[in-house]
Amino acid sequence: MKLMIKKSDLLHIPCSEYDDLPKGKFDAIREIANRGNHAEHISWLIASCKLAQTPKMLAYFKSLNSSAYNVYSVIKNCKLAQTPKMLEYYKSLKPSIEDVHFLITDYKFAQTADMLEYYKSFNPSAGYVSLLIINCKFAQTADMLEYFKSLNPLAEDVSSLIISCKFTQTIEMLAYYKSLNPSVENVSWLIKNCKFTQTADMLVYYKSLNPSAEDVRWLITNCRFAQTTKMLEYFKSFNPSKKDVSWLITNCKFTQTAKMLEYYKSLNPPAYSISMLIINCKFAQTAEMLKYYKSRNPSAGNVYSLIENCRFAQTTKMLEYYKSFKPPIKNIHWLIENCEFVSK
């Protein structure tokens, strides 16, 4: 077998192993044979050179006892190899389920009922079938959904499928999802990531699962749909801890309101909690909040920490307040040397 080509006939530059190719015409088959890795390099040649895409070359390639991966590469890159006969040859080499998955997903000619049956013969997991349905329109059928369900998927598998595949965003699939008794966390994730599930009915279902204050806090923080007065009232109905309320105000712009600050204050937070809120939340960095903080009788150590960690609190007025605790002189010196005090 001979294939006379020039370097310019190659669609891609060969690896450094082929730097010494002749400048004029050369026999590509012989050059590859001289360097070993025969089948692998022949598959590269077929993919990279139009002149190598012939029935004769494909027959030669098959005679080399190629691996399934090399045949996959040829099928992927050579239109001439995209035939039922070549697919049968490919199957005879026992390809991995990953290779079959990508072949079906990426190449229309492999999207046949026979190839789907072949794929199923690998006994793929529900999670793997979910990925095929998500990434391949051909696999988005009622039959494939039934096959997916027959594999007893986890609620997490079903929620991922609903989130990622519009075809599965149906009332029936939601009902099936609920029948799997998903966790509060997973339902939160589904509502956050799928517009289709952002409905009043889904919030009612979510509440029926008895979420904790922390769960509700997470949903409000991460999902714009849940950022409503009604959901805030629901959150408050749990009598959340000062820490939960502080965290919500710090991390969710929707809750950064005068009303929420008043609610936070109604929980009688200690000075330490207030200082953390001021440090971590720009919204709480106000003269009024500093005044409220002082009213909670903070310790000298806590005032020191607030000034050290919050630029907003680095004022001459706050430094004077700290001095009123008669702290060690070295602490005052350290603050003066390391903080950028402004007159306020």
Residue 12 confidence (pLDDT): 73
**Bridge partners (DSSP) listed for residue 315:** 342
Residue 140 confidence (pLDDT): 97
Q: What is the pLDDT of residues 121-166, one digit of tens each?
A: 999 999 999 999 999 999 999 999 999 999 999 999 999 999 999 9
Cα 304 from chain centre: 40
29, 31, 34, 35 alpha-carbon torsion, rounded to 10°: -100
CB 42: neighbour CB atoms within 10 A? 25
Residue 32 confidence (pLDDT): 82
Question: Which token pair is 333?
Answer: 């010196």
DSSP-derived 3-state class of residue 338: helix
**Bridge partners (DSSP) listed for residue 49:** 10
Residue 188 confidence (pLDDT): 98
Global pTM reads 0.81
**Bridge partners (DSSP) listed for residue 342:** 315
Residue 193 confidence (pLDDT): 97
**Bridge partners (DSSP) listed for residue 4:** 27
Residue 37 confidence (pLDDT): 59
Residue 139 confidence (pLDDT): 96
19, 25, 30, 31 alpha-carbon torsion, rounded to 10°: 0
- Mean pLDDT of each 10-residue bin along the chain, 344 residues long: 82 72 82 76 85 89 84 86 88 90 88 93 94 95 97 96 97 97 98 97 97 96 96 96 95 96 96 96 96 95 94 93 93 91 74
DSSP-derived 3-state class of residue 26: strand
Q: Are 244 and 217 in contact (CB under 8 A)?
A: yes
DSSP 8-state class, residue 17: G
Which residue, 302, 70, 312, is CA-closest to 294?
Answer: 302
Residues 126 and 263: their CA atoms lie apart, in Å, by 46
CA-angle at 109, arms to 104 and 111, nearest 5°: 40
Cα–Cα distances in Å, from 323 out to 186, 272, 286, 319? 51, 18, 21, 6
Residue 344 confidence (pLDDT): 62
Helix axis angle, 316-323 to 300-309, nearest 10°: 160
DSSP-derived 3-state class of residue 136: coil
